[in-house]
Amino acid sequence: MLNLLRRPAVTFAALDYSLAELGLNGTQHVILHASLKSFGNLEGGAKTLIDALEQRTATLVAPAFSYATLLIHSTDRPRSQFNRDTRVSRDIGRSAQVLVERAAAERSFHPTLSFIAVGEAAGQVVACQTLESPYQPIGALYDLDGYVLLAGVDFGSNTTIHYGEYLAGVPALTRYVAVGGQVVPTAFPNCSADFDNLLPEVQFLGRQVEVGGSLLRLYRVRDLVDATVRFLERDPEGLLCTFKGCRCQQVRALIRQDGLHPRPHVHGAAIHGSDSDSANADRVDAAGKA
């Protein structure tokens, strides 16, 4: 009886049709956030999703965060070393890991907050990341008039909002990562648990379709980033959660003390081509001077 009640499997063809309904035609630059479980039964799992999206995008991007590399104090020793093939943290999702396993994909240098990308503008997207602006790959997508695809996830998975916070001037916390043999400071954001607070601002800005049990929502990066900045201008604490033990409370205290200090979006900040060892070394030198 239970088998009779199960949704039919989502095939590659059904998924491709839904992506076409969203307007994806192979020319767009898209960052993906996905829950495979939301589809019910997706034939081929994450591979099917990535295969379909590679055919329907010019560039496909995903956060490939590896939280085990994050250090709280400058005196901490790394528990693991980051490299191009470091596994993505499980809570980020299987789809990003499938992208990492594709030899053609390029990965940014940040040990904790890396992005993985494949396609036309992959090098441009990943190369612009810095320790001071780890979400800068979203800035590259902003310049490319890119899109955010949420597949069965809420806004708590939407890293684009962190870039909007950055531009709005939300203070970042200081954490540490090991780059080039040195432990260096990096900006680290508040949590994203209350990012659904932004929904009333953007509910009419996106397109959506359902496939299997998954709701696919597509937004322009520019729309989400600009809406985030406007929202925070009115309510600087509006995206911070209220859980007492969360780092959001540290960020809230900094906002109440100093307010917001908006940062400029630097157009064309990306370095064309993939990251190199010398580029990483330059970042470490810059961090040491900061």
Q: Residue 92: its pLDDT value, please? A: 93
Kindly report the pTM of this predicted structure.
0.90
Q: What's the rounded Cα separation, in Å, for the pair 128 and 275?
A: 9
Least confident of 42-46, 115-119, 157-161, 284-288: 284-288
Two tokens, residue 286:
């810059």
Report the run of H or E that residue 56 belongs to, with start and end.
helix 45-56
pLDDT per residue over 58-80, tens digit each?
999 999 999 999 999 999 998 88
Percent pLDDT > 90 in the chain is 85
Q: What's the rounded Cα separation, in Å, for the pair 88 and 86?
A: 6
pLDDT per residue over 11-31, tens digit each?
999 999 999 999 999 999 999
- What is the arithmetic mean of pLDDT over 111-140? 98
Q: What is the number of helices (H) and of strands (E) in the chain?
A: 11, 9
| CB atoms inside a 10 Å sphere around CB 171 | 20
Q: Residue 289: its pLDDT value, please? A: 35
- Residue 286's pLDDT band (cuts 50, 70, 90): very low
